Amino acid sequence: MRATYREQLHLIVMDLVRMLELVRIALHDATTALLTADLQLAEQVISNDKAIDDLAEETERRSFSTLARQAPVAGELRMVFSAIRLLTELTRMGDLAAHVAKIARLRFPECAVPEPLHANFRQMATLAESMVADAATVLGTTDVEGAGRLARDDEEVDELRREQFRALVDGSWDHSIEAAVDVALLGRYYERIADHAVEVGQRLIYIATGEEPTGTE
């Protein structure tokens, strides 16, 4: 019976890993749509967000069913409740990728990001996408050390965000107010995706050790 229960716990973790992979793909495609003004790809990202939501609902049902069938011990209980909490984080990550695609769609046929900031956003997106992939890896392999590295990677994303703000306020901005609003919103979306990836790592540390990581928000 306990072997079956552990198998159910493993399936829950694998659902979370699958969600993270869907988020990674959505983020990659949304960034491509944003920087190339690809309307068809933007629409695809927006449409596919439902797959992430559907998987979250399925995993939530599985988690509550698992709790109801067995009396979990401490480590198992931490895992199930952390998984339920992470569903909100991962669903939000998918929503944020869709928000990026929606701005790309809104500004089509123009590109929402002014050309001088393309390199900044491309680097920020690459970092955020890498963090999502790393979050999936650390969750699937219970890599506590790797989970800790996510917070350090997040600092690079924050610095790119600061560069965006400097470009907006240093007096050299010669684009529209509309473009400035888009840049501010888009930077926030990528920053929050990275923050959610860090939260995955923090939850993994909690599952493995039973202790909240230091420096959590």
Residue 26 CA to its chain's centroid (Å): 10
CA–CA separation, 54 and 91 (whole Å): 10
Question: Can you tell me the distance from the alpha carbon of 19 to that of 42, in angstroms, rounded to the nearest whole number?
Answer: 19
Cis (ω within 30 of 0) for the bond into 109? yes
Comparing 128 with 173, the larger pLDDT belongs to: 128
The pLDDT value given to residue 59: 94
Residue 82 in any domain: the answer is yes
> What percentage of the chain carries pLDDT values higher than 70?
91
Please compute the mean of the pLDDT values over residues 99-105 and round it to a whole number. Answer: 98
Number of domains in the chain: 1
Which residue carries 């399936």 as its tokens? 11
Residue 47 lies in a domain: yes
Backbone angles phi, psi at 45, to 5 degrees: -60, -45
Predicted structure pTM score: 0.90
181 CA to centre of own chain? 22
Please write the tens of the pLDDT for every residue from 23-39.
Answer: 999 999 999 999 999 99
Q: What is the pLDDT of residue 67?
A: 77
pLDDT at res. 194: 96
Residue 215: inside a domain: no
197: nearest Cα among 64, 36, 62, 17: 17
- Residue 91 CA to residue 101 CA, distance in Å, equals 16
**CA distances for 115 relative to 15, 110, 121, 133, 200, angstroms:** 38, 11, 10, 27, 33
Q: Is the pLDDT of residue 79 over 60?
A: yes
Residue 105 structural domain: 2-209
Residue 214: inside a domain: no
* Residue 48: CATH number of its domain: 1.20.58.220
Q: Is residue 194 part of a domain?
A: yes
Q: Alpha-carbon distance 189 to 93, whole Å?
A: 9
Other C-beta atoms closer than 10 Å to the C-beta of 77 total: 12
Any domain includes 216: no
Tell me, yes or no, whether 53 lies in a domain.
yes
Mean pLDDT for 73-77 is 67
- State mean pLDDT over 169-194: 94
CA distance 114 to 186: 12
User: Is the pLDDT at 72 greater than 80, yes or no?
Assistant: no
- 217: in domain: no
